[in-house]
Amino acid sequence: MYTHRNSISSTVAQSSEVTVSYIGRSQIPKPEATTMRILIIEDDQDTAEHIRRGLEECGNSVDHANNGVDGLAMAQSEDYGVIVVDRMLPGLEGLEVIRKLRETENHTPALILSALGDVDDRVKGLKAGGDDYLTKPFAFAELQARIEALGRRTEQDGTITEIEVGDLRLNRLTREVRRADKKINLQPREYRLLEYLMRNSGQVITRTMLLENVWDYHFDPQTNIIDVHVSRLRGKIDKDFDTPLLHTVRGAGYMLKP
Amino acid sequence: MARPLLRSSTFRLTLLYICLFSTSVSILFGFFYWSTLGFLSVQVDEALDIEVKGLEERYEVDGLNGLSRLIQERIKEQPPSASTIYLLTNSGYNRIVGNLNRWPSGQKDDAGFIDFVLEDTRFSPSPVIPARGREFELSSGYRLLVARGNKDLQSFRKRIVWTLGWGLGIMVLLSLIGSILMNRGMLKRIDSITATSESIVSGKLSQRIPTRGTGDDFDRLAEHLNHMLDQLESSLENVRRISDNIAHDLKTPLTRLRNRLETLHSKHFDSNEDLELATREADGLLATFNALLRIARIETDAKTEGFDLVNLSAVLDDVVELYEPLAEEKNQSIIITENKQSYVFGDQHLLFQAIANLLDNAVKYTPVDGEIRAFLKLDNQNVTIGISDSGPGIPENLRDKVLQRFYRLDSSRNQVGNGLGLSMVAAVCKLHSTQLCLTDAHPGLTISFTLPLSPMALGAKTETDNRTPVTP
């Protein structure tokens, strides 16, 4: 969705010395934690197959249900890391599946897939108990990044005060950022950006995920504005150091890792 | 009533009707007046005739003396208020007997009647009474005049005119009042139809015109319109379903294509420039498609369920903060000239999108080293938010066109973008019941829109703003 890179590509290219290839399935660098059991509830055979193959190729085990009723039954009887649910399903609607699941105290992270792309629909999906929402069609990398973020969410401890990635340290109480004991001054938004990337280190974070989680807005930027912000942040945390931490994952997004 | 009465077509029709009706009633009254009076004067004439004949007979029997005596008796007998006039003269018009002192001047008509004016000297000032008399020439040259003052006839005429005048006046007044009341009733029905159609135009397609259940003309009209709306709604629903399907059907293979390109690209590592370009083209197509569908959705759904209290000043700050680095790359400065705390009722994400698109354009069209101004002004009950660039501006005659989908000015064809940015802003404005205002910024262009301040804002101001950025 980020088409208009031309106008700013020069800057981005200069600062992105390191590019991790993350395109397609074969080259996907394995994030440290995971292989997961993933359930896909999707009636469109093609899409389901596309997702299944993609996820299996990165080492996950994938089950598939092609209607809401079967999907709900499977989700209740098996233990999955993440459930991917289409909204429009025969039998039982996607949102209903999640609602029923939540009623039985099952809190398996759920990602809603939908052809409806309104802010409103998104809000509805999240209200029904979904944990993330992705509009069809999507780049596979986007789906994968989000599934991994969801899979990790369950393991994450929100109360940690200090996050470390390599020699980069961020204190969530003092809001102080240091790399190799050198203090780094960040603008408020840069701090939030870095915090989010660090909390999800070792994972691919897409530009939309950044917009939604760091800026709190759900919108389609006309320009690849996120790249500019990330390249500024990169200038602050990577510029004077030998090993880059903030990597551009081409075709997908960014990853912070030592 | 909000509208002037005269502009209502029902009222104008009733006025016309009242005019026609009162004209015909006046004609009728006139006819009545003339025929009544005519009848009365014929009666007078006949009475005069009979009296003259009686007197003539007496003359033939008793001669002049008998006649004189009779006349004197009659004069004496009649009460003073009565007004029969007798005058007997010789051939030289000299009075012999009678209660009129001289022969009246007046032209005799063919039937022997004479109209003259009578002065009643018993009163002072003496009232002038028109009178009508019958003149008769007796056999020996004597002349006889029997006349009657038209005092009764005159007051009768006055009374008729008075009655008819008032009658007409009251009739016109009553029908005016009636027509205003009727008009009000009609307007109420029409207003309910207008209100319904207005809310349908604003996107609430499920609205229907209320009926009274009396089966009158308006009910029938409403039923027909409602039926039409049902059909319209279902066909619109069909169109939407179809376009959703098209979107779904086209977007899915397009995504697959994009993903295949990605896979292919990854197999060739970084070497293939063409593949990367192709991926970007596919992304561009998808983005255009998404934007188009999104605009259509905002426009047709006109959903306001997602509306909430929005801190517009915070949204403006956020957009400016988001775009500042982009502007700095072109060495431009974004200045917030005014940003008063203000809350509106709307969709936060869509408002963000709209302002972001405006700022995106401003950055795009402002030259290097240029200046961009953003402002949020309060006036009374409204807040106006706008962005001014110092770019080439848009000629006045093209300002409407740039809001159309895919419209691009010739000067901006080489710029990146899909020509949907402003259409999106326009759609968001429409959803918020406002419209975009494009004005000259000398130089450059100012694009702004105005929203009503939320009445809930007072309560919201005390609320802590969780958007306040944290300081590291």
* DSSP result, A23-46: -TTTTPPPPSS---EEEEE-S-HH
* CB-CB neighbors (< 8 A) of A248 in chain B: none
**Structural domain that includes position B250:** 217-301
A227, closest residue in chain B (CA to CA): B326
Is B470 in contact with A188 (Cβ distance < 8 A)? yes
Judgement on whether residues B312 and B458 belong to the same structural domain of the protein: yes
Question: CA A88, CA B78: separation in Å to the nearest integer?
Answer: 112
Closest to A83 measured CA to CA, from A132, A119, A137: A132
Give pTM, 2 decimals: 0.59
Question: CA B218, CA B211: separation in Å to the nearest integer?
Answer: 8
A180 compared with A155, residue with greater pLDDT: A180
Q: Is residue B86 part of a domain?
A: yes
Is B472 in contact with A176 (Cβ distance < 8 A)? yes
Contact, B423 vs B439, CB < 8 A?
no
Q: Is residue B340 part of a domain?
A: yes
Judgement on whether residues B23 and B146 belong to the same structural domain of the protein: yes
Q: Is residue B403 part of a domain?
A: yes
* Chain mean pLDDT for chain A: 79
Give pLDDT, residue B269. 59
What type of residue sits at position B203? G
Percent of chain A whose pLDDT exceeds 70: 82
Is B252 in contact with A136 (Cβ distance < 8 A)? yes
pLDDT of A19 over the 80 cut: no
Judgement on whether residues B112 and B152 belong to the same structural domain of the protein: yes
Give pLDDT, residue B233. 84
pLDDT of B142 over the 50 cut: yes
A178, closest residue in chain B (CA to CA): B472
- Interstrand relation of A253-256 and A205-206 (parallel, antiparallel or unpaired): antiparallel
* Paired tokens of B111: 């039937």
Sequence spans of domains, chain A: 6-25+159-256, 37-153
Give pLDDT, residue B467. 45
pLDDT tens across B323-332, in order?
999 999 889 9
Confidence at B312, pLDDT banded by 50, 70, 90: very high
Kindly list the distances between the CA atom of residue B109 and the CA atoms of B41, B114, B146, B286, in Å, as whole numbers in the listed order.
Answer: 15, 6, 15, 107
The residue with tokens 């009623």 is: A103
Confidence at A154, pLDDT banded by 50, 70, 90: low
Q: What angle do CA A244, A23, B353 make, to 5 degrees?
A: 80
What sign does the dihedral B391-B395-B399-B403 (CA atoms) show? negative
Contact, B449 vs B434, CB < 8 A?
yes
Is A119 in contact with B360 (Cβ distance < 8 A)? no
Give pLDDT, residue B411. 65
Percent of chain B whose pLDDT exceeds 70: 85
Contact, B365 vs B392, CB < 8 A?
yes
pLDDT of B274 over the 70 cut: yes
Is B349 in contact with A217 (Cβ distance < 8 A)? yes
- Interstrand relation of B113-119 and A246-250 (parallel, antiparallel or unpaired): unpaired
Judgement on whether residues B246 and B391 belong to the same structural domain of the protein: no
Interface size A-B, in CB pairs within 8 Å, comes to 151
* CB-CB neighbors (< 8 A) of B283 in chain A: 1-3
B235-264 residues touching A, CB cutoff 8 A? 244, 247-248, 251-252, 254-256, 258-259, 262-264
pLDDT of B109 over the 70 cut: yes
Q: Given the cut 0.85, state whether the ipTM is greater than it.
A: no
Largest separation between any pair of C-alpha atoms in chain A? 58
Confidence at B191, pLDDT banded by 50, 70, 90: confident
Give pLDDT, residue A12. 36
Judgement on whether residues B122 and B237 belong to the same structural domain of the protein: no
Contact, B180 vs B11, CB < 8 A?
yes
Give pLDDT, residue A99. 92
pLDDT of B239 over the 80 cut: no
- Which residues are B108's β-sheet partners? B114
Question: CA B209, CA B189: separation in Å to the nearest integer?
Answer: 10
State how far residue B439 is from chain A, nearest Cα, in angstroms: 23
CATH number of A37-153: 3.40.50.2300
Q: Which of the residue ranges A49-63, A68-82, B134-148 has the most confident prediction, judged by mean pLDDT?
A: A68-82
Percent of chain A whose pLDDT exceeds 90: 19
Confidence at B466, pLDDT banded by 50, 70, 90: very low
* CB-CB neighbors (< 8 A) of A46 in chain B: 252, 256
* CB-CB neighbors (< 8 A) of B264 in chain A: 24
Give pLDDT, residue B423. 84
Nearest to A1 among B286, B305, B321 (CB): B286
Give pLDDT, residue A230. 93
State how far residue A238 is from chain B, nearest Cα, in angstroms: 18
Give pLDDT, residue A224. 81
Q: Is residue B36 part of a domain?
A: yes
Check whether domain A6-25+159-256 has CATH 3.90.1720.10, yes or no = no
Whether the CB of B297 is below 8 Å from some CB of chain A: the reply is yes
pLDDT tens across B25-55, in order?
889 888 988 888 888 888 888 888 888 888 8
Is B286 in contact with A137 (Cβ distance < 8 A)? yes
* CB-CB neighbors (< 8 A) of A19 in chain B: 270
What type of residue sits at position B460? A
A156 compared with B386, residue with greater pLDDT: B386
Q: Is residue B363 part of a domain?
A: yes
Number of domains in chain B: 3
* Paired tokens of B459: 């309560």
Confidence at B79, pLDDT banded by 50, 70, 90: low
Is B326 in contact with A223 (Cβ distance < 8 A)? yes
pLDDT of B82 over the 60 cut: no
Percent of chain B whose pLDDT exceeds 90: 12
B238 Cβ contact partners less than 8 Å away, ≥ 6 residues apart: none
pLDDT tens across A186-238, in order?
988 899 999 999 988 888 898 888 988 898 888 878 778 899 999 999 999 88
B416-445 residues touching A, CB cutoff 8 A? 416-417, 421
Contact, A106 vs A100, CB < 8 A?
no
Contact, B356 vs B396, CB < 8 A?
no
pLDDT tens across B403-454, in order?
776 777 766 666 666 677 888 898 899 888 888 888 888 888 899 999 998 8
Q: State the Rg of chain B over Cα.
A: 48
